[in-house]
Structure 1
Amino acid sequence: MIESDRELSATVQEIWDSDVNRLKPGKDYRISLQGKAGDTMSCNDSNDGAGLPLFTFVDENIFKKETFFAFISLLDNYESATGEPEIVTPEELAENHRFLDAIIQTPTMKIAHRYLVEKQLSPPDESEFKEQLYRIWFELYARRGSNRPDSSGFEHVFVGETRRGRTVIGFHNWIQLYLQEKLGHIDYKGYSVTAHSPQPDENKHILALQFSWKNGIKPKGSIFIGVSPEFEFALYTLCFLTSPNERVKVQFSLYDVEIVCYHYNQKHISTTYPVLLRYRNPQADSTGNPSEV
């Protein structure tokens, strides 16, 4: 791992450790992985690996916390179909700012801000930093195939979009997944693994999966589960601003993760999500390094 990756990983570890709003698997939420999803682009997959929902329990008291509450208020502000222009109402604008005001005050975002200021990638002034976050995440742009502003980093990553009514794009957030599944709008199809990825674990915080939503299919998505909105915002903003590359490898807690982060015109996030490379054993081996599991 190159030195910049080590430094970034150390900061991500700080952010992880400071995420006091993270839910505990098995206690605050439970999921049911069931079977492996089939390789398909069809909603009517006869190889559906899951007959039951992914989430079997979530303690919804967490949604009363300020950052969760502010985050959830944003999820109904968007038109999911790409090509349909987004209209931001004054109420929605206020909700965007309320959310940013809430997360900027959390330890996770303060750690991210400190690191970015040290690297001269963000302004030290908090209000100017908030403006930078707004531009990255909430400013509208025209996604591929559209000539009108129809998307934003926030909508794509956290809410999800549909393309031509058949394919789900983006949608990398567990809270949106849970809420949409609870409403009956999500059909979880099973977990996704490759020859090089670790087997999923119901007690870990990263999952690759397949699901259908709004008559479209997400053939393979990857999400953090149980983390707070501020954790994801801090992590993804760090990766967006620190790396010109589209993939950033970081290590924290039990996870070796590749953060995929595509830029749009170098100003906005096009998409970003985690790819789990391996779990590490919390018990270090004789060399002092965590061993792979």
Structure 2
Amino acid sequence: MPSMHEKKLLNTFWKFLNFCFMSQGKAGDLAGFADDNDGAGLPLFTFVDENIFKKETFLAFISLLDNYESDTGEPEIVTPEEELENHKFLDSIIKTPTMKMAHRYLVRKHLSPEDTADFKKQLYHIWFELYARRGASKPDSSGFEHVFVGETRGGRTVIGFHNWIQLYLQEKLGHIDYKGYRVNASSPQPDENKHMLALQFSWKNGIKPKGSIFIGVSPEFEFALYTLCFLTSPNERVKVSFSVYEVEIVCHHYNQKHIGTTYPVLVKYLNA
């Protein structure tokens, strides 16, 4: 469990952006999930202030979203241009107060090198180096692709895909069919004031029967948070607190070297 200092660190860069979405109906049962089992007749997002996408970190992040083959088992080929985009993204977030704060903390914990260039190499290794997922004979995935872009398995199941920006942009293009939200005893009905969402959706002919994402946060926030959890804890679940949210960050390592997956799970909404 994070110390009080770690909680203060995380709360310091917990900020929200301007957005609005329609929660609509509850999602259907996981069993027998099909396209006609749709609790939401309208799109998820009704408004996002796209001026935020002009900021350097957002521009650099969005440029990476079309660099991957979604199907696991399809080998990834990173072109020189795509590698430059990866580096541009890391250069942009390392300069942010959020990532600088996370870096200082990791240096104090002797988990990251103090030199910024070496820290960037560490981040590249964790997030962007390719590896072979289950059943693949050649490198077909990376932590970044899985978590932020999303993948499909067997053409029918969506895996990963835990980022709201990708969700918004893909829905805007007509590639996402939002199926509804999911709630349990600890989670409130979502609205424009909530910043975590458990949901179902379809994408590229595949189904994501249950996903969980932060809504309205910056790329540097998620990148810093998930990197902190990956490096500070050998556990697969890390408890953290943000404002009125008690959250577990699920973080699976791949060969102890790369991020396999990571995403938030709401434990308790304190205003409920």
Fold shared by both chains (TM-score > 0.5)? yes
Using the TM superposition, give the Cα deviation of residue 202 of structure 1 relative to its aligned residue in structure 2, in angstroms.
2.8
Secondary structure in 1 matching 2:13 = helix
**Given the alignment of the two structures, is residue 221 of structure 1 paired with residue 211 of structure 2, yes or no?**
yes
Distance 1:38 1:266 in 2: 36
Letter in 1 for 2:113: P
Moved more, 219-228 or 191-200: 191-200
Secondary structure in 2 matching 1:11 = helix
Distance 2:249 2:136 in 1: 27
Secondary structure in 1 matching 2:36 = coil
Where does residue 83 of structure 2 map in the other structure?
93
Where does residue 231 of structure 2 map in the other structure?
241
Distance 1:200 1:8 in 2: 27
Q: CA RMSD in A?
A: 1.3
Letter in 1 for 2:123: L
Where does residue 131 of structure 1 map in the other structure?
121
Where does residue 110 of structure 1 map in the other structure?
100
**Given the alignment of the two structures, is residue 6 of structure 1 paired with residue 4 of structure 2, yes or no?**
yes
Structure 1 spans left out of the alignment, 5+ residues: 282-292
**Given the alignment of the two structures, is residue 84 of structure 1 paired with residue 82 of structure 2, yes or no?**
no
Using the TM superposition, give the Cα deviation of residue 42 of structure 1 relative to its aligned residue in structure 2, in angstroms.
5.8
**How many residues were matched structurally?**
272
Moved more, 84-93 or 6-15: 6-15
Distance 2:33 2:203 in 1: 9
Quote the sequence identity (%). 78
Moved more, 33-42 or 88-97: 33-42
Where does residue 172 of structure 2 map in the other structure?
182
Secondary structure in 1 matching 2:136 = coil
Where does residue 287 of structure 1 map in the other structure?
none
Q: Are the aligned partners of 1:10 and 1:252 in contact in 2 as well (CA < 8 Å)?
A: no
Secondary structure in 1 matching 2:270 = strand
Using the TM superposition, give the Cα deviation of residue 192 of structure 1 relative to its aligned residue in structure 2, in angstroms.
0.9
Matches within 5 A, 1:14-93: 14-16=12-14, 19=15, 22-23=16-17, 28-40=18-30, 44-93=34-83
Q: Which residue, 252, 255, 265 being the options, matches 1:262?
A: 252
Letter in 2 for 1:52: L
Distance 1:127 1:171 in 2: 29
Distance 2:258 2:3 in 1: 22
The TM-score, its normalising length taken from structure 1, stands at 0.90
Structure 2 spans left out of the alignment, 5+ residues: none
Distance 1:65 1:87 in 2: 28
Q: Are the aligned partners of 2:129 and 2:142 in contact in 1 as well (CA < 8 Å)?
A: yes
The TM-score, its normalising length taken from structure 2, stands at 0.96
Distance 1:145 1:77 in 2: 22
Distance 2:146 2:101 in 1: 25
